[in-house]
Chain A
Amino acid sequence: MNSVILIAGARLQAVLLLVFSAYMLLRGHNAPGGGFIGGLIAATGFVVYAIACGTQDARKALRFDPGSIAGAGLGIALFAGVMAVFWGDAFFTGQWLFIGATEDSKGLPLSSVLIFDIGVYLVVLGAVLSITFSLEEAV
């Protein structure tokens, strides 16, 4: 599809969707969102981009092979689970760190749970794109 409007729109949209997906990923623990939804949103951005500009450009924009992204995501998720073992807890026990916590606020909460969710995000993104790209290249 060679449409200037679609290409321009898709590029802009992809950027917005990527930022939005990161937002959804990070807010997930307390509000609707999370790794799965975030991953799907990011994937949608690239899928539209691929339709507008072709999968070759989309692959270039993605920089990494979608299969590798998914694989890395699974590895990160596994790492987040294994982390607990270093603190002597059972596999997949959430580990938390509250930076700058005071009496009233919890400061900046960081956790192995977030790392796990990032893993989920990457797996979903990579898997969906791997399927979409190869499907579009096949037909």
Chain B
Amino acid sequence: MDTSTPTRWITPAGLIPVAIAGSLFVWFAQMIPVIAAGDTLRFLWEWVPSLGVNFSFYIDGLSLTFALLITGIGALVMLYSARYLAGHVHQARFSLFLTSFMLSMIGLVLSDNLLILFVFWELTTITSYLLIGFNHDTLKARRSALQALMMTGVGGLALLAGIILIGTTAGTFEMSQINQMPGVLTQSVMYLPILMLVLAGAFTKSAQMPFHFWLPNAMAAPTPVSAYLHSATMVKAGIYLLARTHPSLSGTDVWLWTLTIAGAVTMVFASIMALRQTDLKLALAYTTLMALGALTLLLGNESGYTITAAATFLIVHSLYKAALFLVVGIMDAQTGTRDADKLFGMGKAMPITAIAAGIAALSMAGFPPFLGFIGKELKYAGAIAVASEPIIVAGAFLIASALMVAIAGIVSFRPFWSKSGTPIAGVKEAPWPMLVGPVVLASMGAFFGIFPDVLANSLVNPTVAAIIGNAEPAKELKLWAGVNLPLFLSIATFMLGFTLYYYKIQIRTALIRMTTAAPSFDNGWDTLMAGIASGSKALTRMIQTGVLRQYMFVTFATALVAMGATLFIRTTGIPSVGWPDIELWDWLVFLLVLLGAGLTVVTNSRITAIAGLGVVGIGMAMIFILFSAPDVAITQLLVETLVVVLFAAAALKLPELDKERLGARPLDALIALGFGVVTTIIVMKVTAGPIDRELTTFFETASWPEAFGQNIVNVILVDFRALDTFGEIAVVLIAAISIFALLKSKPEEDKP
């Protein structure tokens, strides 16, 4: 995208989303005083109260922090996109997707009812699928979008199962109430399944190892999308879920160790992988993974230090990462490349971008006096306070933070100020709408670094209170906390980070050599997908033979075995019934049915067989008439007539019955006879006992006074059980449509 030529960018498609996001931000911002004072807000509209599904929204420190990040960064990113995508054919579509995503995300973080939360959770999955696949004419974008959809979609299903278990265990789906019941989940027998399912949802969404690989691939999306979804919002949905369920799910060894191990492994792996990349956007994607790992790790604990660190780092990371993504987008737009080995010496040409990038990077690297420094100090303090293995956790943070220092240099120092390559000529500063985002986000990092109390009082403390309650007050955010262990760790971080930056090329070469040899998760994904496809194809071939006889055989054999086995296990003996008191008429009908059945079985002509079946059907209808069920009898007669007509129409075109295949008949006969015997025994057993006439009596007495009808069958159909009938006629219609579609669609080889 060449932004040097002036394009008309003030368009409704570009600016309406900015207005929406901006006004939502203001609306949420005016709630800060209420929330900071320790209150919470709750909105409720009942939807399906009988199922416990309500549109209930809950605003406390945690959800407000997320809502502000989503709308604030959203407004800036949308302003940026208005210019970045100005003149793009599908700009309106992009705006629609991005706005829908933002609204789903807001819904997710504000939902109190877990089922509503799930709906929004899935909406973010779908909208992010559309956004990642925005450049749908490239194979890579389509594949990445599908991969993200599958990964987060599978996780979403697991989450739904977990939510239902939570609802049945706690008796409510309102998270604010569940969090008020200490131990209701942790002491339940269902705790482990609930935890595993919820974590499956959170880990896939927040791309924890081993579900991480979709996130770097999602960089196929346009840069504003990456800046928004894959730094500040969507991938943080998993983190949000962990924080939201923290009060009721945490505090066990399983929670502590699962989150610690997943978080630590993801963090270290991702920061090493980040150093391997030459594409600046990919490098940032891996540092996002690192941040998600760090947040997961911190949320595994319950101490005031770790949770304060998590709340602060959440904000810090969103600010600097969105800024840096936008900066990389600017570089890409102005030069056409994101390759770290090609971008040098642009600092003089684009000073504002360079300065914004520098400030954001200093925050990322954790230098004082930026907010990143406070975040890092808190992380170290939190690491020392973890309940698992303080030394290992602190070591993991040290490695990850040092690598962050190196990456910060690579992303925002080298392209602008380094003299180690040929400077790119003719670069221009980006237009102002694209600069606002990085500048504002970077300055926020600096502002909050100098005045940490503002952030602490407005957002961090209420967030911490929302996660761990008032058990332990949030730790103070300050730039100078005295000479302590975190400070020494910080100094060590900088020294290690500078060394890594100095040897970055050598390290990258070594890493590339190592990782190309190692098996890749991404290829494993392809293998898995191909395996599922071929497996289901083989299974389909096995059970869908296309031979109607086999389907019928399997169906009846299964039913026979199921009924026979139940009969054998549940009951004993065959009830003796006396010689039935039947008339001559009955005998004649009985004979007629027998004749019809015999004719159907022995004939070789299809028409004769159909006629034989018709005789059986008419015999059945006559039995209904003899037992005074005229409605059933009429229906039976009509259906029989229609079936014979329909079959006759088709049978005219079919060949004679194949005599070769008749060899299989003994088996068919066995099943048919077995079926008849089992059904007869069941009917005998049913009629042997006294018949419960409660329903019959009810309908007999209620039919006329309540439904004004004398024909009970009809009254049941259209009044007492009208809903059932409605379902049945819907099925009739669906069957008709399916048959229509089957007959109208030609086999594939016939198509031109």
Contact = CB atoms under 8 A, between A and B. Distances in A.
Interface of A: 28-37, 40-41, 43-44, 47-48, 51, 66-67, 70-71, 73-74, 77-78, 81, 91-92, 94, 96, 106, 109, 111, 113, 116-117, 119-120, 123-124, 126-128, 130-132, 134-139
A120 B642 contact: no
Interface string B689-725: 0000000000000000001111101110111001101
A48 B646 CA distance: 10
Contacts of A134: 739-740, 743-744
Given A41-B638, A128-B642, A34 B717 contact: yes
B657 interface: no
Interface residues of B, number: 40
A59 B729 CA distance: 22
Given A78-B726, A132-B649, 19 more contacts: A32-B631, A33-B634, A40-B635, A40-B642, A41-B638, A43-B642, A47-B642, A47-B646, A70-B732, A73-B729, A77-B726, A111-B708, A113-B709, A124-B732, A131-B736, A132-B646, A136-B649, A138-B744, A139-B649
Given A37-B634, A67-B736, A109 B708 contact: yes
A33 B630 CA distance: 9
Interface in B622-651: 630-631, 634-635, 638-639, 641-642, 645-646, 649-650
Contact of A51 (B649, B707, B719): B649
Nearest to B725: A120
B733 A37 contact: no
14 contacts: A29-B708, A30-B711, A34-B713, A37-B635, A43-B642, A44-B641, A73-B729, A127-B732, A130-B739, A130-B740, A131-B646, A131-B740, A134-B740, A138-B744
A67 B708 contact: no
B652 interface: yes
A31 to B, nearest CB: 6
A87 to B, nearest CB: 15
B653 interface: yes
B634 A30 contact: no
Contacts of B726: 77-78, 81, 92, 116
A116 B718 contact: yes
A84 to B, nearest CB: 10
The secondary structure that dominates the B interface is helix
Contacts of B639: 40
A67 B737 contact: yes
A34 B730 contact: no
A50 B641 CA distance: 15
Contacts of B737: 67, 130
- Among B649, B708, B711, B718, the most chain A Cβ lie within 10 Å of the Cβ of B718
B729 A94 contact: no
A128 B726 CA distance: 17
Contacts of B638: 37, 40-41, 44
A47 B737 CA distance: 18
B729 A77 contact: yes
Given A40-B639, A132-B646, A134-B739, A33 B729 contact: no
B735 interface: yes
A32 B722 CA distance: 18
B733 A36 contact: no
A137 B638 CA distance: 22
A47 B649 CA distance: 11
A106 B631 CA distance: 25
A134 B746 CA distance: 13
Given A40-B639, A113-B707, A135-B649, A32 B634 contact: yes
Contacts of B718: 28-29, 34-35, 94, 113, 116-117, 120
A51 B729 contact: no
Contact of B743 (A30, A126, A138): A138
Contacts of A40: 635, 638-639, 642
A36 to B, nearest CB: 6
A136 B190 CA distance: 57
